[in-house]
């Protein structure tokens, strides 16, 4: 992927062809082997780092004029800090070998048109003192770089995290195996969000066809021809999201006591099916296997010409699971407040959003001060309640 990006981007290709040791890492351009003078008047080597702005399969203009740096603060030949480009202390971890310490600011009139101009400008400023001490010092080393991004589970580089400066947090999802049971309404919105993270695999389980009513409570827009083909829900969703994520595995099956082993080895499971009796055996198995899961519930009723109801998510972890029997029944009954089948896309989306937020809190992406394992949203009042609080974080 990164080789293709460099080849298709004139500025990156020119940097590589001119001998700069460039690498694409977590949506950033990394330029290695930048010689500079440190405070001890020794020539050392650092790295430039800046977020990439991509337009399809090639680079667009850099979003700003700031450059991040890995190394000590560059100095002049006398060991005095180069103050003309001082900006701020900046710490961002892209890998064990790429952790920035500083950011520099050098803004030409009109900004930088491309990454070549940006890198070359900063290189001239940083390396000039080093070359005055050691004329052989150069950033154009023609070093062969191993492409670190070709193993990515994403089909193209995720630049949103790099632009926001949260690539280190996003890396918390690396390697996870996720299951989504039911991808009709809520489950399809969960897939929409999880597919935008670098989890290793997303296993989809649903044996139903994707029908016309499903199109009105799922993200995106299905064509008339797609609906007439009656694909399985998992195959329809796989066709869409495999354009972004390589690890989506569709299973056109209903999870029952006969195939529960399909869930073994998963790190987190989202349960998005209506029937309590059908899910009881699933939840019991997940508890026995110590697999963390989030059960989603949506109950809506028509009352006097308006809709009322609740949206809920219930979290179960190996260390907190005794509340399950009180929150999710094992049998279907007319009195079950979540048993009705009125589903609206915005409520499915909200249900999925609450579930994904809780999942990201479990992963340490978002802070979670209450650690609530049960969350409900009441439509008529707009109130969100949290229960089954494990322990507050002070």
Res 181: pLDDT: 98
Res 146: pLDDT: 63
Q: Please say whether the beta carbons of 174 and 198 come within 8 A.
A: yes
Q: What is the pLDDT of residues 378-389, one digit of tens each?
A: 999 999 999 888
Q: What is the DSSP string of 377-388?
A: EETTTTEEEEEE
Among 113-122, 153-162, 170-179, the minimum mean pLDDT is found in 153-162
Res 391: pLDDT: 59
Q: Other CB atoms closer than 10 Å to residue 168's CB: what's the count?
A: 15
Q: What is the pLDDT of residues 129-142, one digit of tens each?
A: 999 999 999 999 99
Res 147: pLDDT: 52
Among 87-91, 230-234, 263-267, the minimum mean pLDDT is found in 87-91
* 364/375 Cα distance (integer angstroms): 18
Q: If you average pLDDT over every residue of the chain, what do you get?
A: 90
Q: What is the pLDDT of residues 194-236, one digit of tens each?
A: 999 999 999 999 999 999 999 999 999 999 999 999 999 999 9
Angle at 342 between CA 341 and CA 344, to 5 degrees: 130
CATH domain 174-389 topology: Rossmann fold (3.40.50)
Domain ranges of the chain: 2-152, 174-389
pTM: 0.76
pLDDT at 335 over 50: no
In this structure, what token pair is assigned to residue 159?
Answer: 């630049």
Q: Please say whether the beta carbons of 31 and 25 come within 8 A.
A: no
* 10/18 Cα distance (integer angstroms): 12
At 13, give phi and psi (nearest 5°).
-60, -40
* 332/102 Cα distance (integer angstroms): 59
């Amino acid at each position: 992927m990164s080789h293709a990006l460099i080849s298709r981007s004139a500025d990156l290709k020119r940097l590589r062809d001119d001998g700069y040791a460039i690498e694409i890492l977590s949506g950033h351009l990394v330029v290695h082997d930048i010689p500079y003078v440190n405070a001890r008047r020794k020539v050392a080597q650092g790295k430039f780092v800046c977020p990439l702005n991509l337009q399809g399969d090639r680079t667009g203009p850099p979003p700003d004029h700031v450059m991040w740096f890995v190394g000590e603060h560059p100095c002049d030949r006398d060991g005095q800090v180069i103050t003309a480009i001082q900006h701020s202390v900046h710490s961002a971890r892209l890998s064990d070998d790429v952790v920035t310490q500083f950011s520099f600011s050098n803004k030409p009139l009109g900004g930088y048109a491309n990454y070549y101009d940006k890198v070359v400008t900063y290189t001239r400023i940083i390396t000039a003192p080093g070359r005055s001490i050691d004329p052989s010092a150069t950033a154009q080393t023609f070093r062969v770089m191993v492409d670190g991004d070709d193993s990515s589970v994403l089909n193209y580089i995720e630049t949103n995290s790099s632009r926001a400066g949260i690539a280190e947090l996003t890396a918390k999802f690396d390697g996870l195996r996720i299951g989504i049971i039911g991808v009709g309404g809520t489950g399809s919105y969960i897939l929409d969000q999880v597919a935008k993270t670098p989890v290793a695999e997303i296993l989809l389980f649903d044996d139903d066809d994707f029908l016309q009513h499903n199109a009105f409570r799922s993200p995106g827009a299905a064509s008339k021809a797609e609906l007439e083909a009656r694909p399985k829900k998992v195959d329809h969703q796989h066709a869409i999201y495999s354009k972004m994520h390589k690890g989506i595995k569709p299973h056109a099956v209903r999870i029952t006591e006969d195939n529960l082993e399909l869930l073994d080895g998963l790190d987190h499971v989202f349960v998005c099916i209506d029937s309590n009796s059908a899910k009881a055996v699933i939840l019991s198995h997940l508890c026995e296997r110590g697999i963390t899961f989030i059960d989603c519930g949506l109950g809506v009723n028509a009352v006097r010409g308006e809709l009322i109801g609740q949206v809920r998510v219930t979290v179960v972890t190996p260390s907190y699971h005794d509340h399950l029997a009180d929150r999710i029944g094992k049998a279907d009954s007319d009195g079950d407040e979540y048993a009705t089948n009125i589903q609206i896309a915005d409520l499915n989306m909200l249900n999925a959003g609450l579930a994904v937020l809780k999942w990201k809190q479990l992963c340490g992406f978002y802070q979670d001060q209450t650690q609530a394992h049960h969350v409900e949203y009441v439509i008529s009042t707009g109130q969100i309640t949290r229960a089954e609080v494990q322990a507050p974080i002070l």
